[in-house]
Structure 1
Amino acid sequence: MAAGSVFIVGFINPFIFLLLIILVPVIWLIIRFHQKPSRQLKRLESITCSPIYALFSTSLNGLTTIRAFKAENSFIQLISNRIDVNTSACINVQAASQPFALLLAVVYSSTAALSLISAISITLSFQWGVRRLSEADILMTSGERIDEYSHLPPEEDEGGYKRLVKTSPEWPVHGTIEFRNYSLRHRTNLEYAIRNINLRIESGQKIGIIGRTGAGKSSLIKGIFRFIDRSNVDGQILIDNVDISRITLNDLRSHLTVIPQQSILFSGTLRYNLDPYNSYSDEQCWKVLEEVQLKPFVMHHPEGLLMSVAESGNNLSIGQCQLITIARAILKKSEILLIDEATAHVDQKTDDLIQTIIKEKFQDRTVMTIAHRLNTVAKCDRILVLDN
C-alpha cells in the first residue's frame, strides 16, 4: 500500500524520488535506533505479564482456601502489585513507540501529497478509536461483575455476636452433638434444605446418614461447620452443650475434622499435606502412613515424606488422595469426625480398607458418615434417614 502511494505521488511529481534518496537512509537509521530498545521493552512486558496469569490461575484453584483464611486482601494486594509492574512496562513500550511514530510522520509529511495520505490515515484511526471506546464501554459490564464479586461480604466474624464463648484448647472433650429444632436453607429465597431436626449424638457414637439426592445430608455438615449465613439458619447445634453459634469460626473449625467426597490436597510436599502447621514429628507422620497402608509407597519414593504433591493431588490416584486425607485426620485426633461420602469415587477394595481404618482408628470418637452405599453405614450404631 505504501509503495503504491509513493509510486502514484512520484508519477505526478518525479522530484519526489530525489527526496526519497535522502529520506530512506534517515528512516532506516531511525528504525535501527528504535528497534533494539523496543524489543527489550516488549520482552520485559511479556515477562511481567506471566506472573499475573500464574497468580490468577492459582487463586481460582484455591479460591475456597483463600476465603476460608480471609486472605482476600493479601491476594488483591499481590495481584495489584504485579499488575502495576506490568502496566509500567506497557507504558514504557507505548512511550518508546510514540516518538518513533512522530519522527516518521515528520519525515513523510514533507510533501503535500503524503500529508493527504496522513489525513486519511488519521480519519481511519479516529474511526478505530471511536469503535474501540464503544466496545470498551460494553465490556465494562464484566468489570462491574468482578467489582461486585470483590465486594461480597466475608464470613461472619466475632463482631456478629452479642457474646462469644471462649473454648478451652481441649474442647470438645466428649464429642456429643445435639440438634435442637434445627433448620437450614442455603439462601434466603430458597426452600429449607433441612427442617426441624431434633437429634442427640452421644460421645463415641457412629451415625450413618442416608437419603435421596437433595435430602439435606451434606447440609448437616455445612451447618456444623457454619458454612451457611446465620440469617438462613434457625435453631441450635450444641457440641458438648456449647452453642456453636457463640464460638468463633476459627475455634469451631479447628476442633473438627472432615473427610470430604473430593480430597483436599495442596501443592507442596506430602509432609505438608499431612501436617500443614508442622505440629507433629516425622515419626508420627510415618506412623499414620503405616496405619493407612501408604508407608511402602512413600518409602519407595526417593524423597520420602518430602515427595512432591501436585495441586489437588493430580499426581496421585483417587484412592491414595483419600488415604492421605484420612491419615491427616488420624494425626489431628479430633473428637468429632465428619465423613461426606468419602468412598464415592473409589473401588470396593479401597472402600473396604477405608471402612476398616475408620473403625479401628476412630473407635472412641464421634463419627457422622454420609454414605451412598448401604454397606458403608451397615455397622454404624444408628442410622439417620433424611426425607421430605
Structure 2
Amino acid sequence: MTAIVGGGICGLAIGWYLARAGQQVSVFERGEAGHEASWAAAGMLAAQVEAEKGEEGLLPLLLEGRAMWEEFACDLAAASGLPVDYRDEGTLVVALDRDDAESLRFDYDYHRSLGLDMEWLTGEQAQEREPHLAPGVVAGVYSPLDHQVDNRQAMQALKAAFTAAGGTLHEHTEVSEILVNQGAVKGLVAGDEKIQADTVIIAAGAWSRNLPGLPDSVRPPVRPVKGQMLSLRMPPDAPLLSHVVWGPGTYMVPRRDGLLIIGGTMEEMEFDQRMTAGGVLDMLRHAWETLPGIYDLPLEEVWAGLRPTSRDDAPILGPVTGDHGVAGLVMATGHHRAGILLAPVTAKAISDYVLSGSMDDAFAPFAPERFAA
C-alpha cells in the first residue's frame, strides 16, 4: 500500500495516477484536502514570465509541466465530471514608466536568449489587447504560452477523480508519526491508528519538514513563504481583463465567473497566515496603478497561503537514497511558487517511480540527496 502525506494538488494528483493504475493508495490530509497552498494560489501556468536568472536548471521542468497541463485538465474533467477552467489567452506583462520599460526589456532579452516565445509590445499594442489598462502604459510583453487554470476547480475535480479511481482520502486526519525501522519506512500513524505501507510519499507542502518520525538526516529543507492575496468581483459580462496581467508589483488573474484575483506578497513569516493592512494596501495600490478600473469593484475575499520553499527554490522529487536513505520514503515537496504548474509532471514522475522503481534521469537535479550534508 502507498500512503501519501498531504492532500494538496501534488499529493492528490500522485494519488490519482496511482489509483487509476490499480494501486492501493491512501491520502492523509491534516485539514480539508486542497485548502492550503493549492487553494491559495492564483493558478498561473507562467513558466516563461516567471523564469529567473540562476534558475536555468529548473526551466525545462517548468516548461514540461506547462506543456502537460492542457491534457491533464481534459483528463481530469473527464474523470471527475467537474469543470476545470483551463484558459489559454496568454499572459501580458506591462511597464508604466521608462524605468519599468528598461527592466522589462532586460527580462525580455534574457527570456528570448533562452529561446522562449515572447513578443515585445508598444504601449498602444498592449492597450489594444487590454483596453482597460492604465493610459500611461509605455510597453509590454506578450507570452502566448503562459496560460492559467482555476486551481480551486482543479482541486475539487482531483478529489472526485481520486476517489472515483478507488483511492481513499482521509481528511482532517493529522499524521502523528512516520514509521521508520532499520532504514526502511513501515507506514505511519494517523490519529490513533497505525497504518502499514510499503511506500510513504511526503507531499505535505510547508509542513513536510516537521513531520514526526522522519530521521533528521532526511528531513526536507522546506520552509513556508507567506503570500497574501485578494479577489475583486467584476461583471462577468464586462470583465476588465481577459489575459493574466503582470504589472509593477502586481499580478492579476481574471476568472470566467467575474472574479479578479490579485497577488501577491512574498514574506518570510514562518507559519503566520494572518492578513495585514500593509499587504492589502500594497496589493490594491499596485493593481490600481496598472488597472485603474478596479477602484469601484466590490472586494470579494482576502486570504494568505504558505508556499513550500526549498533551500534552492526548486522542488524535491524522488526516493530518499544515499548513505542516510530510507527505503520506501519518497519526497514530492518544496515546489515554492510552482506547485500548480508542476503538478502534472510531479504526478507522472512520482507515480512512475512507485510503479517501476526507477526515476527518469531528467529528475536527478531535484533528488533529495542534493541536500545531504
Report TM bin, short chain: under 0.3
Structure with higher RCO (Cα < 8 A, 6+ apart): 2
When Rg is computed on C-alpha atoms for both structures, the one with the higher figure is 1
More helix by share: 1
Name the TM-score, length of structure 1 as normaliser.
0.20
More strand by share: 2
